Structure 1
Amino acid sequence: MFKTQAESQEFLTGFLPTLEETPQDREVVLCVPFTDLNVLSKSLHGSRVQLGAQNVHWEDCGAYTGEISGPMLQEIGVRYVVVGHSERRQYFGETDQTVNWRLKAAQKNGLIPILCVGETKQQRDAGETEALISNQLEKDLVDIDQSNLVIAYEPIWAIGTGDTCEATEANRVIGLIRSQLKNPNMTIQYGGSVKPNNIDEIMAQPEIDGVLVGGASLEPSSFARIVNYK
């Protein structure tokens, strides 16, 4: 929940020029608040940056005050949507059932969902990481097209805390996630205190295809360093 429309435009002014030397095989997606989507859809037209939303409702329309539907997002050029982010699960009652419904709605409406899975510090300390994530995947991916999906492993204890999961450990968990998928070639990202000073090590891991960036994406030069990792 950052950046007004004016602030988003200012961000683009500083960020877009940094992509001139970015390798063409790297995909860049900005997942912004709903109020910024329309203006950024216009500003990003013709650029290499894709637009993403932070959530989507499971119904196309209805008496769901405060929600946003797939057709509303698709109409204004949104390509990606984050589903099941840990903050939605933690603060807003998201369950694996509603995550599954949102994934289906996203795919039905031509959006590529970015599914977030991950454990809390308490669950990790109890040795429950593998079982928890396996359970999340089993429930979330019921009847989901795995050829039209991105998964982000985000250990909740490493989000906004400054504590980063060791790159080798993130690689291990993502390898376990990949082993449970019908589509082993799926893009799997790591998210959790990704910063300019750790991006090179993270992206050197063989199982990690990309990153889901939080706070470090708010400043153009910081995000540019992550996008242009070595």
Structure 2
Amino acid sequence: MNKPVAAVSLKMYFSQSRTLEYCREIKSLITSEPALIDNVRLAILPDFLSIPQAGEILKDTNIILGAQDLAYEDRGAFTGEVSGADLADLGVKVAEIGHAERRTIFRENEDMIAKKVAAAKRNNIIPLLCIGEPEKTTAKQAAKLCIKQVHSALKYATPTEIWLGYEPYWAIGAAQPASPEYVSETCQNIRDGLSDLPSTTILYGGSAGPGLITKLDNTIDGLFLGRFAHDPKAFLEVAKETMSRK
């Protein structure tokens, strides 16, 4: 089994200066936590503009530098896109692909997502593929849809390692998040249905905070955090709890 993961996407919430300060704070906090860095894969996904400087700050920490997206081609007439080849040159090791916001707001379709997974593999970047069901249903049906999303995303390439960020779309920003029981059953069904994949890390990304990871089944390898982890100390707290996944 791979080491558990605690990852955070900063989306577009922070200014560049705040993003870099966040990285410095995380770096400072983990210096006194050798067990954490040895047993948990920590990952920070800043905005594109902050990646070069964030990489310099984090380069001696073993914290994984991530990106929130990448282009499906490495070079060409793709105005405004960011090449996976360039991200790899900057030290990016993981890239988020197919987040619910990319699928809905920016209308990314399944074929585009599959091409981005192929681009990640081509550039030795681990794809963090975001999956989830749009409407509340049974755990069995939710897993069936998520498995279909994964198979579609692997249309052009199968990476040697893939992270799956499971988040039911209907629970995003909802007053009542998905229950730990529902999440655990869904993710167990997802893992069972993808047993043929070489190396799959399953993360849960819905309304994740302190105490949640301890309520989830061991089939879940960690958490993909959002706004809760904007406080570096909160991120560290959840990361410590994630050590139980080993």
> Kindly tell me: are residues 95 and 150 of structure 1, through their superposed partners in 2, closer, same or farther at Cα, counting changes over 3 Å?
same
**Deviation, structure 1 residue 172:** 1.1
Q: 2:142 aligns with which of 107, 129, 138?
A: 129
Q: 1:4 aligns with which of 15, 19, 36?
A: 15
In 2, distance between residues paired with 1:169 and 1:146?
28
Q: 2:220 aligns with which of 205, 208, 211?
A: 208
Q: Are 2:159 and 1:157 equivalent residues in the alignment? A: no
In 2, distance between residues paired with 1:160 and 1:31?
20
- Mapping for residues 163-174 of structure 1, pairs under 5 Å: 163-174=176-187
Q: Are 2:106 and 1:95 equivalent residues in the alignment? A: no
**Deviation, structure 1 residue 132:** 2.2
In 2, distance between residues paired with 1:61 and 1:217?
34
| Equivalent AA in structure 1 for residue 20 of structure 2 | Q
**Deviation, structure 1 residue 143:** 4.1
Cα offsets for 1:87-135 (capped at 9, x unmatched): 1001101111111000000100111110111012x3538x852442232
**Structure 1 stretches of 5 or more lacking a match?**
none
Q: 1:227 aligns with which of 202, 226, 239?
A: 239
In 2, distance between residues paired with 1:100 and 1:51?
22
TM-score by length of 2: 0.85
Give the superposed CA RMSD.
Answer: 2.0
TM-score by length of 1: 0.90
- Mapping for residues 180-199 of structure 1, pairs under 5 Å: 180-181=193-194, 182-183=196-197, 185-199=199-213
- Mapping for residues 5-84 of structure 1, pairs under 5 Å: 5-19=16-30, 20-21=32-33, 22-23=35-36, 24-84=38-98
> Kindly tell me: are residues 146 and 60 of structure 1, through their superposed partners in 2, closer, same or farther at Cα, counting changes over 3 Å?
closer
**Deviation, structure 1 residue 39:** 0.7
> What secondary structure, in the 3-state scheme, does the structure 1 residue paired with 2:39 have?
coil
> Kindly tell me: are residues 10 and 36 of structure 1, through their superposed partners in 2, closer, same or farther at Cα, counting changes over 3 Å?
same
> What secondary structure, in the 3-state scheme, does the structure 2 residue paired with 1:175 have?
helix
Q: Are 2:191 and 1:217 equivalent residues in the alignment? A: no
Cα offsets for 1:207-228 (capped at 9, x unmatched): 1001111111211111111111
| Equivalent AA in structure 2 for residue 57 of structure 1 | A
Residue equivalent to 1:106: 120
Answer 1 or 2: higher relative contact order, Cα 8 Å, separation at least 6: 2
Q: Are 2:170 and 1:179 equivalent residues in the alignment? A: no
The more displaced of 99-108 and 136-145 is 136-145
**Structure 2 stretches of 5 or more lacking a match?**
1-11
> Kindly tell me: are residues 197 and 148 of structure 1, through their superposed partners in 2, closer, same or farther at Cα, counting changes over 3 Å?
closer
CA contact (8 A) 1:2 1:33 kept: no
CA contact (8 A) 1:54 1:81 kept: yes
Residue equivalent to 1:138: 151
| Equivalent AA in structure 2 for residue 46 of structure 1 | D
> What secondary structure, in the 3-state scheme, does the structure 1 residue paired with 2:120 have?
helix
In 2, distance between residues paired with 1:184 and 1:78?
22
CA contact (8 A) 2:100 2:130 kept: yes
**Deviation, structure 1 residue 180:** 2.1
CA contact (8 A) 1:157 1:163 kept: no
> What secondary structure, in the 3-state scheme, does the structure 1 residue paired with 2:137 have?
helix
| Equivalent AA in structure 1 for residue 132 of structure 2 | G
Sequence identity of aligned pairs in percent?
Answer: 29
CA contact (8 A) 1:189 1:208 kept: yes
